[in-house]
Amino acid sequence: MQKLLLASTPGPLARDLIYSLFRVHLRLSIAVGAAWSKLTNLTTTTEWLKPLARSSKLGAPNWFVQQVATLGAVAALSCLTLPYAQAQGTAEPSTVTRADLKPLLRADWQGALTYRDYQNQQLVTLATQLSATETTPQVVTLNYVYREPNGKQVRGADQLRLQANGTQIEWDGLLMRVQQKRLLPRRVVQLVLVGEGTDNNQRATVRRTVLLAARQYSVRKEVRFQGDTTFLLRHEYQFQR
């Protein structure tokens, strides 16, 4: 029956939802008679059967009528929650596409890097320029120019490699899962990436939170070392153009 009804439905989530609604319709058809008296006025069915009980030995007792009404209401409410439960269970993973990263491909990003100096746990900020290019269809290279407090310029680079299915990004050698993707106001895309790696020569869970729009780009890197319960800010880039 599911195949006949949903032969042209492309997505598994839509298919399951429509099939669930069909099942709900059948169940409600069975339960509505008993549930109606419960949902409107439980005494209605009871009082209606009282004359029958007095005039015939076959009349149903009050306790039986109330039990049937209660069971019918429970069955109806259970059916109504079924589509939501199935939709939650079939949610597809978040994915990132080349189109999502396209606003990053500019050479005129101006901003700053703030990083934690592990020697004294102080935060240091450096003026930074960014140029992002797509070196291959699945790879984006981020070229940085840092200006140190003494005026000296230092260059660095990161490489982002988008995996084929879009559910993972290899960021500078670390494979990270796309934990969340959201569209925020003003067309800002938020990505949350999580991976297992090392930081400061210790095993750690690494989390990067990216905000990307036409004129805004930031990435916040946080680490949680083994045995810890909270994330620690490692560094944060903030750019505008």
| Of 36 and 109, the one with more pLDDT | 109
According to the model, what pLDDT value does residue 36 have?
46
CATH code given to domain 98-240: 2.40.128.20
Distance CA 98, CA 189 (A): 13
pTM: 0.64
Distance CA 119, CA 130 (A): 27
213-227 pLDDT, tens per residue? 999 999 999 999 999
User: Where residue 153 falls among pLDDT bands split at 50, 70, 90?
Assistant: very high
Q: How far is CA 201 from CA 54, 159, 204, 232, in A?
A: 86, 21, 9, 15
Distance CA 226, CA 203 (A): 6
Alpha carbon 180 to chain centroid, angstroms: 5
Extents of the domains making up the chain: 2-89, 98-240
Distance CA 10, CA 14 (A): 8
Whose CA is closest to 88, among 13, 181, 20, 180?
13
